[in-house]
Amino acid sequence: MLDRIRHRGPDAFKIVEADGVVLGSRALARHLGGKTRCAAEEDGVVVTADSYIYNKSELLQEYFGSKAEPAITDVELLLEMYRSAGLDMFGLIDGAYAIAIVDGSKLVLARDRFGIKPLYHSGSSKNGSYSSEMKSQVAAGSDFAPFPAGKIFVQGQGMKNIGDLPARRTSDKEKPEDALRRLALSSTDQCVENSDSVNILLDGGINSSAIAAAASFTTVDIDTVCVGLAESEELELARQVAAHLGTSHMERVFEQEDVLQTLDEAIYAVESFDFPQVRNCIPDYMAAHLFLHPNRTTLVGEGGDEIFAGYDYLNTIKSDSKLRNERARILASGSSTSYQRVDRVNASACLDGRMPFMQASIVDLGLGLGRRDLIGAGPNQNKLVLRKAFEKLLPKDLVWRREPKHSDGVSSMGVLRNYAEEVISDKEFEKERKVLPKGRIRTKEELMYFRSFQKFFHSKSCYDAVGLTESL
């Protein structure tokens, strides 16, 4: 199973066997050629994790005191937390994680509240198999399902809920845009983790541009990448942001043939045929594989549309409470759609994709805002608080530009939609869409992606694990 996910951790691996439990782990160094640890062990307890932790510096102070230092790895911190707090530790972590702990003959698994980091499972409460991707789970040869977000599994006991994070004090005197800017800079800094360099997938939109602006305050060396057709708007907008912030920028201009040649490998990487995700996956996949810098941490702007009401249909919701509930719903659904895309695309290039907007304080701030702060009265003012927060740090025209509808994906991805219409007849579409439950194959484009998906993933478990992005 570890061989199938070598890309997730080519720098180190470890296999631990104890009392009927076999734990295999791979680890990715933050810099090419750097050192890392797969697991931390002490007195019969072994901890391994795929993680990044927004409140790591606070937790280091809490559990290591005067001995706290940035070089302490996540697994070392988590081991100390488990020894001190047991299962209550998970309620204290603000971050993205899939954690496995072997404690004697007992196995403990946990996945973060939003399911940002991937985890799949099969079997019962007494035995089974668990892994980070479908690729490795398929190798186990049994039916499987996504491990639920926000849950802890204890062998022999079953699932438990992860507790809520401790409440944080907020100031009523601070404007929402000022609070957001402060929190975004802090979260980005935690994601960069004292590194002097970072990668950013930059598409010229306000989400990724705001993260790039925040990163410019925390690190001196920023590599940005954008891909698109020669005439695509994304390329020009990304150039403007890169020039404004002084990043080391690279781009790739592609044609329809490049997209079609990349399709199968991108779908294998992202493990999905959900058409909005595949549309966005292909340019992201191309971009992630362009980074030349040895740094492996890559920042993205995902989460911004969900938190700050970036989707067009949210404009029609007039009630603040309903607007909050709908954003909370789509945030909760991201584990098998947008968060999965971020994870798999970056992992396929041996990168660690990180989402600064998903820090708990930012999510809470955003969900606590109503239409007045999020949507505004003008036609271009969705994500209003985000635009205000970064309007002095980015080019004005970009900040107040109307962005395309999310489900359209990157504008250059129209080539895939058009190609599917050409090569798949109406008769083929109606026949083949019946392979899956009604409504699962919605367009010819999605059928084209499903055909590619079937080349690698054949079981009902695989089909059922694919998320469904609504038309946003």
The CATH code of the domain that includes 337 is 3.40.50.620
Residue pair 176/386 in contact (Cβ under 8 Å)? The answer is: no
Res. 412: pLDDT tops 60: no
Look-up of token digits 């070089």: 71
Determine the angle formed by the axes of helices 444-454 and 256-270, rounding to 10 degrees.
60
Residue pair 60/72 in contact (Cβ under 8 Å)? The answer is: yes
Domain CATH code at residue 145: 3.60.20.10
For residues 328 and 334, what is the distance between their CA atoms, to the nearest angstrom?
10
137 and 268 part of one domain? no
3-state DSSP assignment of residue 113:
coil
pLDDT mean over 347-370: 96
Question: What residues contact residue 396 under an 8 Å CB cut-off, 6+ apart?
Answer: none
| pLDDT value of residue 407 | 46
pTM for the model: 0.94
User: 83: left (phi > 0), else alpha (psi -120 to 50), else beta?
Assistant: alpha
Number of domains in the chain: 2
Res. 378: pLDDT tops 70: no
152 and 187 part of one domain? no
Q: Does residue 236 lie in a domain region?
A: yes
| pLDDT value of residue 406 | 46
11, two tokens:
């720098």
202 and 129 part of one domain? no
For residues 39 and 259, what is the distance between their CA atoms, to the nearest angstrom?
39
89 and 112 part of one domain? yes
Which of 131, 161, 191 is where one domain is finished? 161
pLDDT tens digit sequence for 166-216: 877 666 789 999 999 999 999 999 999 878 889 999 999 999 999 999 999
Residue pair 120/145 in contact (Cβ under 8 Å)? The answer is: yes
Which of 113, 135, 161 is where one domain is finished? 161
pLDDT interval class at 439 (50, 70, 90): confident
247, two tokens:
């990043």
Cα–chain center distance at 121: 19
Query: What percent of the chain stands above pLDDT 70?
Result: 94
Among the ranges given (171-180, 341-350, 405-414), the one the predictor scored with the smallest mean pLDDT: 405-414
3-state DSSP assignment of residue 204:
coil
User: 397: left (phi > 0), else alpha (psi -120 to 50), else beta?
Assistant: alpha
Res. 411: pLDDT tops 60: no
